Amino acid sequence: MTCKPGKGGKIKTRRAAAKRFKQTGSGKFKFSRVGVRHLNVGSPRKQLRNLRGTGVVHESDAQNFARILPYGCTM
């Protein structure tokens, strides 16, 4: 199968990143916090409270995520 002249090829999505990050409507990337699945018996309650919810990727890393996830994340 060949590409049409003047058309670029498709860009592959990094599947590992697509499973961990999701693009918001404004174009930012959000992620789920790590360290809350298991082995939390001895952890301080404050630490576990702060790990709730999702986080947003810093602007300096957003360009790398836009390259890794060219079409956003469709999960």
Q: Identify the CATH number of the domain in which residue 47 sits.
A: 4.10.410.60
Residue numbers of the domain that contains 63: 15-68
Query: Can you give the pTM of this predicted structure?
Result: 0.75
Within a domain: residue 74? no
Within a domain: residue 21? yes
pLDDT in tens, 14-70: 999 999 999 999 999 999 999 999 999 999 999 999 999 999 999 999 999 989 998
Distances (CA, A) of 51 to 26, 60, 63, 70: 23, 22, 25, 28
As for how many domains the chain has, the answer is 1
Q: Report the number of secondary-structure helices (H) and strands (E) in the chain.
A: 3, 3
Within a domain: residue 6? no
Within a domain: residue 5? no
Within a domain: residue 75? no
Within a domain: residue 7? no
The Cα 32–Cα 38 span in angstroms is 15
Please provide residue 29's backbone torsions phi and psi, each rounded to the nearest 5 degrees.
Answer: -110, 130
Q: Which helix (H) or strand (E) holds 9?
A: none
